[in-house]
Structure 1
Amino acid sequence: MQQSEIQPLEGLTVLDFTTLLPGPLATLMLAEAGARVIKLERPGGEDMRSFPPFVKGKPVLFEQLNRGKECLELDLKDEAARGRVLELLQTADILVEQFRPGVMDRLGLGYDTLSARFPGLIYCSITGFGQEGPRASSAGHDLNYMALSGLLAQSCGSAKHPVLPPAQIADIGGGSFPALTNILLAILKRTKTGKGCHIDISMTDSMFTFGIFAHAFHAAGKPVPDWGQGLLCGGSPRYRLYPAGDGRLIAVAALEEKFWQGLCDLLEIEPGLRNDRADPEASAAAIARALAAKPSSDWKDLLSAADCCACVVATMEEARQDPAIAARDLFSHQLDVGGEAIEALPLPLASHFRKQP
């Protein structure tokens, strides 16, 4: 493969405070496009370093997501470490963070503080529910976001009537977004070279990014977990769907130990079953029994108060009526169809980059 003479983001510096998948994948693409990415981790490293598979003691997922980045461990609660961050910001163009809203502010590294000192800084915050709204500070993972958006409910079928995924992942995730990303990169590159280019987007090629966990096992020379057996595919008691007493589904995504223990505390799971690695199915059965003891209407507030990455799977109509969703003002844009104003498609664009409603 021929290496480009000049990369579109060459000369830009990114400070990456993110962990796990969403932010690291985004900053990986920035790094691949030529940016210098400095990944700032807590002492001991971020959680993805502990995820299997491993090759020669190295975590494959972490290595794949953070290829080409400079890793630096800093305790952001330490004043000297924050001083080091401010030094790095002197030459940084972009900051990407993935904490819950308010964390960076408490560290003295929030947008208002930094923008006053570094007016040219592009500051990107990635969260589950946005910077504002009733659910802004809630914990969550991918499964919760799908459940609360109404998307997951559309994929629940039966053995007699299996259903297809409700989202056009290949069309949108494999076609639309890569096209947008690469077009923007091409524009940046053109400002440096004066030349346009042909962008070849294959939706099939793009799908391999979505199979990140399976790809990591394959790259490590390990067997890819069978369907439904992977960590994020229902193979772990901590990350699967359980029916409540009324048959409605509960999305449990309590991956981290603190969330798992919080869920177990709420459900009064006995100590011997909390070690889900010893007997995963026994632990899952205990969770299932506990959740089946109450209807979903009872669990909704209990799970929310426990803040343990578990929630009732919402229908699309319920999701649209959710005050936390309404507070995000997703559906205010309209378009004219035959003289009738109809709701425009919600888009993942910052409001100040999008045309007004």
Structure 2
Amino acid sequence: MKLEGLTVLDLSLFLPGPAATQLMADHGARVIKVENPRAPEPTRSAAAFPWQQGGETVMFRNTQRGKESIALDLKTEAGKAALLALARKVDVVVEAFRPGVAQRLGIDYASLSADNPGLIYCSISAFGQTGPWRDRPAHDTATVAAAGILDVTRSPEGHSGPAIIGIPIADMLSSYLALSGILMALNRRHLKGEGDFVDISMFESVLAASPNIMGPVFGGDQAPERLNERTHGGNAMLNVYETGDGQYLALGGGEHKFVEALFEGLGRPDFVPAVTGPAGKGHWEAIAFLRDTFRTRPRSEWEKWFVGRDICWSPVVSLHEAWQSEHVLERGMRFSDGDGNDHIGSAIKFAAEPAQIRTQLPAMGEQTAQILDELDLTEAYRKAILDGL
């Protein structure tokens, strides 16, 4: 597999760091997860994440599979000694402490790279390691709000307030950027023999995902006027419409051929010139027509109507429907392990050396003794760590 032979030390919790390191584990890396024996990985807890399969939370199963767990209290002399010994042997460290915490613990990049100059050290935080906001506490929704994205995430019909986005985009975008940064740094190390520090901000990961909506801000020095913008409800062909049974469908492509196929099929070719033009007022009459038209039939009938027509569209399905689909199953994005537990598959599909997902989950500290045996530690430190389990 692509990352075979790589060892990753994962000090992160919750989603951004663990999702990145699980991807690395799925593609062959050895990932050693460090857990505080007094405060283990929070996603293990059914109190916080109540949906379970096979005695483990669905969240934990889909962010921690294929990893090893070592239990270390980094505030103890023995725990810190073990961490430093581990850091001398690994290729990558991923952490998601608040800025400054790793330095106070003596496990920051400067400290660890002194003994391991080829180390790639990735820090994931809400707003980054520098700047006036670095110490602000935040998780996903707050960073998305700070990036201006909640303000434009509203119903394209009516005047709703900001809506919570259905997936934790700051968490996952920062996770994928962390993986990208780590792999870039590893390539540089391969060429130059040097490690590097990778600073990933959840907030900035959302900003970086915004090039297609920045026209009004960069070109007009103003906030978007939502219903005049192509991706926020001002384009007839990039919109969401209610059907006659209270369900919804989405149109998702405004190229000329798609516009013609839709409006000629609905008997209104006169709308084609306006809808192929700029978003905004010129689309509003067509949008009103489509809202009225799509409400005349249930979703199931519209699904039949769209068959064979060259139009970018989809029914708005529930999360449950989406994960039952034949396409999801055939491409392995949902699969079951030997015990019947469900897993999210790998979305990175190589022709050669594809992911070989190891579905086993580590108990908290399960590999502690085994990993300690690999380290140059005193017997007193080893005993202190094991006694603390």
Q: Calculate the TM-score normalised by the size of structure 1.
A: 0.50
Q: Which structure carries more relative contact order (alpha carbon 8 Å, separation 6+)? A: 2
Q: Calculate the TM-score normalised by the size of structure 2.
A: 0.46
Q: Radius of gyration: which is bigger?
A: 2
